[in-house]
Amino acid sequence: MRLQERDPEIYRILAAERRRQREGVELIPSENYVSEAVLDAMGTIFTNKYSEGYPGRRYYGGNENVDDVERLAQERARRLFGVPHANVQPYSGSPANLAVYLATCQPGDPIMGQNLPDGGHLTHGWKVSVTGTYYRSVPYHVRTDGYIDVDEVWRLAREHRPKLIWCGATAYVREFPFEQLAAVADETGAFFATDIAHIAGLVIAGAHKSPVPYAHIVTTTTHKTLRGPRGAMILVTDKGLAKDPELAERVDRAVFPGLQGGPHDQTTAAIAVALGEAMQPSFGEYGRQVVVNAKALAHGLLRYGFKLVTGGTDNHMMLLDLTPGGAGRGVFLQEALDRVGITVNKNTIPKEPSSAFYPSGIRLGTPAATTRGMREPEMSRIAEWIAAVGEVIEEFRLPEGREERTATLRAFRRSIEENRRLEALRGDVREFCLKFPVPGT
């Protein structure tokens, strides 16, 4: 029985989300649209199967077809990234990263990763994550210009002798210095892991340097720029096996049985489909256009007077620094842009003067817009809209006191709902977006 007939409430919500995606511009850099083929794979009867273990070594019977799917996903991952080993079972990026710790470290070992407020990731040792409580985290930072402080990485590594060094981020807009950080790891004896969740598709497309020659382990999600389902992979490189011949087996044991039970077979099938799509020449064109679009959007925002961390971008992402108008203004611009159908996320900036709840930045990127066929002229139009929204809310500032802050946010939200200029912009954005189809909707 069709969903509309069996569960009309869920169907109504799904229809509303379909409408939201079709009528708005998705600029959150960690989101993208999957193809209809990936959607088809996600909805298959593979979801019915339980498959603890690995191909040829399952704890349940009836897995011959699941084995074929997983082997195909593994083989495509190895070919695309040029690695000898791929684990495609992690449920998402965070469990994949946790498996790296389990495979390479003991509780209490020193580890290093980019500081979260400086653009790093929660699982690279931030204090509220298990990775920052079970291991002794020694974070490194970015310089005042927004680039990774490699000199600090050298100093901290020589002092603390970490067991594991991470390179990767959620809000870093420049090319990662893989070779330089690998040299640090090699001298100090650390495992070097690169988390390329954000840039995996750009690496495949040749739009960003590959970490594979430099890293021992590479982790990535399979969505974001890779345009697959919400899953993850762990890749072990030739350099990793040269450092530890048992590293691939350690990684596999860390994923299962160390951290997970049965894999999500329907997701594995969809990962295989996405990797197959990434092998096509059109994917390289897509990845390169993502970067072209990001540079065009950055240029447009600069033209309208916005301040960008590092002054631009090398990848799919940019980070707006809104402190010229006061600290903690990210929430205002995010919600006002939501009002007109432009989706971004508030984000901390380096040396954040406010807090993670009320940060001073906005993170935005171009993967999803590029998937819909938008190009440089559309980026210019989007920059114009962002500037127009910024003008509408220019008067609002974040108070320091909690009660005053609550009252200000309440007044702000009422204001953007009633603002006629924002309502008119919403109509413009809707009309614009409907010209660019969303796959699968």
- Per the annotation, binding residues for (6S)-5,6,7,8-tetrahydrofolate are 116, 120-122, 355-357
Would strands 361-365 and 345-347 be described as parallel, antiparallel, or unpaired? antiparallel
What does the radius of gyration of the chain's CA atoms come to, in whole angstroms?
A: 22
Catalytic, 136? Answer: no
- Annotated catalytic residue: which of 26, 118, 149, 195? 195
CA dist list (Å): 148 to 67, 154, 291 = 42, 12, 20
Catalytic, 224? Answer: yes
Catalytic, 49? Answer: no
Would strands 217-221 and 232-236 be described as parallel, antiparallel, or unpaired? antiparallel
Q: Which two tokens stand for residue 214?
A: 């430099």
- Annotated catalytic residue: which of 49, 58, 174, 224? 224
Cis status, amide bond into 257, omega within 30 of 0 = yes
- Annotated catalytic residue: which of 22, 230, 413, 430? 230
Residues 6+ apart with CB under 8 A from 12: none
- Annotated catalytic residue: which of 11, 50, 91, 147? 50
Q: Are 342 and 386 in contact (CB under 8 A)?
A: yes
Task: Quickly tell me which residue has 């099938």 as its tokens.
Answer: 269
Distance CA 145, CA 143 (A): 5
- Annotated catalytic residue: which of 104, 123, 221, 348? 221
Distance CA 166, CA 112 (A): 6
Catalytic, 118? Answer: no
Residue set of the binding site: 116, 120-122, 355-357
- Annotated catalytic residue: which of 52, 186, 244, 428? 52
Which residues participate in catalysis according to the annotation? 50, 52, 195, 221, 224, 230
